[in-house]
Amino acid sequence: METRNIREDIAFAESRMRAETVAAEDILHDLGAISLFTSDSQAMGRIGETVCRTWQTAHKMKEQFGALPEDVETHNDNFRVKRYIAKYTINPALAHGIADYVGSIEAGKYADLVLWHPAFFGIKPELVIKGGQIVTANMGPANASIPTAQPLNLRSMFGAYGSAVARNSLYFVSAVSLNAPADIRTLYRVRREMRPVNGTRAVRKQDMLYNDYLPCITVDPETYEVTVQGNDGEERKLCCQPAKCVPLARRYLLF
């Protein structure tokens, strides 16, 4: 049965997807007013498309509005790149109180890394490393005699099997539970290490890297038009055109 023939599903989608607010969301991301890019972004997102949708949004904003003010003099997109990559790495970690362990590549943090071929950045990883161990890799058939044999697919590696899964993963829990008299790992019979969540009540908008813009935002309840008032007091109605073509789409996944 096709979803488009189910009236309840159509009504639910229409209640969430409005052209005015979706268009405004793109601009708010580009301004740094929205600090995180989540699996439910853009009205009804998909968890498997979070990264590619982030870069598609960045591309669309560059095409329609040009370089950010921070990038004009440098003639590159470095600031915009840092703004968008922070939306799904360090800023979510800060917001959830787990930035001491994940969210960025720093000494002392878990070695959760993704390696990309430049041409496929944001859409097809070459190597996924979890806790310092290879979890998945872009590989050909196991029976092939050369490493470049087709078809190349993301295949499970050493870190995706057996006890390696628990060793390379963490449970984030309340600090109070870790200080309880009973060992909760034993109590709940879990093998993963546990780490305390901290700082969630103290984190503020200004803590969001490259995404700390805080305008006054109003949404018209009748028309759903979004207006922002910047630090200079000037009001601006947020509107942009839908994308006709985006990178990192189907042609990147043909092979």
Could you read off the pLDDT of 160-205 as tens digits, one per residue? 999 999 999 999 999 898 888 888 888 889 999 999 999 999 999 9
Per the CB < 8 A criterion, the answer to whether 226 and 39 are in contact is no
What's the pTM value of the predicted model, to 2 decimals?
0.88
Predicted pLDDT at 43: 64
Instruction: Name the one residue in this structure whose structure tokens are 């985006």.
Output: 246
Q: Is residue 10 part of a domain?
A: no
pLDDT tens readout for residues 115-156: 999 999 999 999 999 999 999 999 888 898 887 888 888 999
Provide the pLDDT confidence category of residue 52 given band limits of 50, 70 and 90. very high
Q: Is residue 118 part of a domain?
A: no
Q: Is residue 195 part of a domain?
A: no
Q: Is residue 251 part of a domain?
A: yes
Q: Which residue(s) pair with 218 in the sheet?
A: 227
Which string of DSSP letters, residue by residue, matches 175-192? HHHHTSSS-HHHHHT--S
**What number is the average pLDDT over the span 85-107?**
96
- Its domain, for residue 51, covers 18-97+209-216+230-255
Provide the pLDDT confidence category of residue 42 given band limits of 50, 70 and 90. low
Q: Is residue 174 part of a domain?
A: no
Predicted pLDDT at 230: 79
Predicted pLDDT at 4: 67
Predicted pLDDT at 181: 82
Q: Is residue 46 part of a domain?
A: yes
Residues contacting 44, CB < 8 A, separation 6+: 13, 16, 17
Total domains, the chain: 1
- pLDDT at residue 51 greater than cutoff 70: yes
Q: Is residue 48 part of a domain?
A: yes
